[in-house]
Structure 1
């Protein structure tokens, strides 16, 4: 197998919201996804306001390139949780530093998408924006490791409630 390389270009950036990534309390986070006006005009967002949620593909741009962990490790380094391989995590310690987040779309203002609960920080390069279609949601029974429920208990909690 050969390792294929390709380039991607940011089509937007996150403006506002949080300035540093943290593990929890993303609830109530308001930010703007500002689409690059050099490539797109307002026609690019036509019809988007009819959707309640977006899926955002972004780059973990603040990741330390020396902090990769391609094997197994304990989530959040918690000794109570089992070692899990890189593909059993959703963290930033991966080769391509890609993140995927589902957020609420509040309003569309030209090329500015006002969103809530996007777990990407101010300045994050956005690589793609897709409306959420419920038909693309999970089919069949959903299961996940027990440690994820414990770990993510406060992920979308309101920071004012912390």
Structure 2
């Protein structure tokens, strides 16, 4: 059963950081999440007490024609099993949304200075919140071996390319 579409508007935008999408080398890059003017500064009150954020953002450089509603091997690598659309964490998803957990370095007015945000300059931020450890996974985390193989260099510093 499909539900009606709904509209969301960005609450912020990414300033600086990565200039183009990449599959790896996302670490060590600093950027700013700039809260849009329509939101009062007090909506950020207390956020500086947290080390990490939960950021939901839109793959704005991707095309809706990139959506892939079928099973395929991650990064088209035949060594990894074909898995469905909702097993991948890339722009080929129906709503082209992503969630990241950047480290919050400082807050200056509307600017949240972060590192390790894997979004590019200009990215619309749909929502943001502090990361609560208590809301993270409970119990042991289970996953197959291919994500570890695929993402071995993901958080390697970008300047080491």
Asked if these proteins are the same fold (TM beyond 0.5), I'd say yes
Look up the match of 1:51.
Answer: 50
TM-superposed deviation, 1:156: 0.4
Look up the match of 2:64.
Answer: 65
Deviations 1:4-63 (A, max 9, x none): 2000001100000011100000110100000001x2122111100000000000110011
TM-score norm. by structure 2 comes to 0.97
Look up the match of 1:15.
Answer: 15
Look up the match of 2:5.
Answer: 5
Look up the match of 1:119.
Answer: 118
The within-5 A match list for 1:1-162 is: 1-37=1-37, 39-162=38-161
TM-score norm. by structure 1 comes to 0.96
SS of structure 2 residue aligned to 1:90: coil
Q: Paired residues, what number?
A: 161
**Greater percentage in strand:** 1
Spell out structure 1 runs of 4+ moving beyond 4 A.
none
SS of structure 1 residue aligned to 2:156: coil
> CA RMSD of the aligned region, Å?
0.9
